Structure 1
């Protein structure tokens, strides 16, 4: 489990970068999309006001997606980077991988609560991740 910081933001002097400052960054969140394999750590805890990067890697073993609309609406999305292309979306419901690839989503955790991201249409606990924002 990712250890939360003691207070938001993670550093006292944010400077010109504000919440995106290097000192305000939490540990990266790793997500793997692979047929029959766990999504990642079953539980992740984030600190409201801190900046995070979620790295989503697909191995191409199947056409897979990750969904979690309630989580995606509880964060401020900075950008999603796919093959070097930066996308700055207003909202996201899911990301789907038709083949192997990597997407990196950077965001600031905002709304405290417990949220779930998962591979759609699956029932196994290994195919979901619970993300708690404190």
Structure 2
């Protein structure tokens, strides 16, 4: 009977170790995936429900950036920075609950509007924000 109890404890510890190892491995992988890049998490919500989670994003010219755009809404959203020629590739929309990633290096200083490119509500045209790129 005692051998069975020890076996159960060892099995439980191995399951716990495997679970913790997976979580730690995923976190380390993501940290290394974006090493050397500024990572900005931007949430998309229709204007009636809060609009973009950030109205202004400040960047430094020449520094790599990753935008992770998370749709926390119940409708699809899109994203573009027309003046910088940046937009989502493929279908061009972020379905509810999904995340889109855009990587770029700002090479021009100034203020640039970003916008939702998928009709999301009656106030869709108000779903904008500003990216401000400056020298160091």
Q: Same fold (TM over 0.5)?
A: yes
RMSD of aligned alpha carbons: 2.5
Residue of structure 1 equivalent to 2:45: 34
Q: Does 1:102 align with 2:99?
A: yes
The total of aligned residue pairs comes to 92
Higher strand share: 1
Residue of structure 2 equivalent to 1:130: 130
Equivalences for 1:37-116 in 2 at 5 Å?
A: 37-71=50-84, 73=85, 92=87, 95-116=92-113
Flag the structure with more relative contact order, 1 or 2, with Cα contacts below 8 A and sequence separation at least 6. 1
Structure of higher CA gyration radius:
2
Shift, 1:113, TM fit: 1.5
CA contact (8 A) 1:69 1:93 kept: no
Segments of structure 1 that go 5 or more residues without pairing to the other structure are 1-20, 74-90
C-alpha distance after superposition, 1:1-30 (max 9, x if no partner): xxxxxxxxxxxxxxxxxxxx945x33x222
Higher helix share: 2
C-alpha distance after superposition, 1:31-77 (max 9, x if no partner): 11223222122112111110111010112501222232213x2xxxx
Segments of structure 2 that go 5 or more residues without pairing to the other structure are 1-33
